[in-house]
Amino acid sequence: MPSDASLFLEQFMRSPAVIGAIAPSSRRLSEAVTAPIPEKGEPVVVELGPGTGPFTAVIQERLGGRGHHLAIEINKPMAERLAARFPRVDVVSADASDLPALLAERGLGQADVVVSGLPWAAFGVELQNRLMSAVTRSMIPSGAFTTFAYVHALALPPAGRFRRLLTQRFEEVVPSRTVWRNLPPAFVYNARRPRG
């Protein structure tokens, strides 16, 4: 079985616009992205684009057996590896825009937290809007959404478009400090309270 890094690179070479990165995220970035997961209760946590599972591992640590963790990965080889590695995670190989239906099928209602590993800046306007609509429709009113962006891509038009989309769809959007211990360096968008 290939390592996570080689599987990630192999899948990136096959579908760079879908995978969006050449290596899995670092532990430091994973901790920053998963910070909004509540320490108590039975939260519904949705993970979009988990890849080989660096965020998944930290989400599972934070949940400690509580709540429901739904991970949606469109890439089947990655989804299969994720399901084998994390048997407590509800892994589904599907399109993230199907999130409302996937939650309904499980009788979960809405998500408390949505953690995204999707390559938003690699998506066109229509896809960004479709995915973000699925996310905001699927969240509780006080819900939290986190995703990350690479520092080197900040000046590119798709990255600016995504920032504007976040501020349109959430009442509060706060970027984190740069996470230098990631390849490439990145930062986290912390968004709260989806707009109706």
Residue-level length of the chain: 196
Q: Return the pLDDT at 21.
A: 52
CB-count burial class (<10 Å; 0-12, 13-18, 19+) for 15: exposed
Tell me how far apart the alpha carbons of residues 193 and 196 are, in angstroms, rounded to a whole number. Answer: 9
**Residue 120: which of 112, 130, 110, 111 has the closest Cα?**
130
C-alpha 38 chain-centroid distance: 16
DSSP string, 64-132: TT-SEEEEE-S-HHHHHHHHHH-TTSEEE-S-GGGHHHHHHHTT--SEEEEEE---GGGS-HHHHHHHH
Q: What tokens appear for 18 in the block?
A: 């879908």
Q: Which residues of the chain have pLDDT under 70?
A: 1-23
| Angle (CA) 6 78 14, round 5° | 60
Bin 51: left if φ > 0, else alpha if -120 < ψ < 50, else beta. left
Q: What is the pLDDT of residues 21-67, one digit of tens each?
A: 546 789 999 999 999 999 999 999 999 999 999 999 999 999 999 99
Q: Return the pLDDT at 118.
A: 95
Q: Return the pLDDT at 89.
A: 98
Q: Return the pLDDT at 23.
A: 65
Question: Measuring CA to CA, how many Å separate 165 from each of 4, 49, 102, 121, 157?
Answer: 32, 19, 23, 11, 12
Q: Return the pLDDT at 7.
A: 53
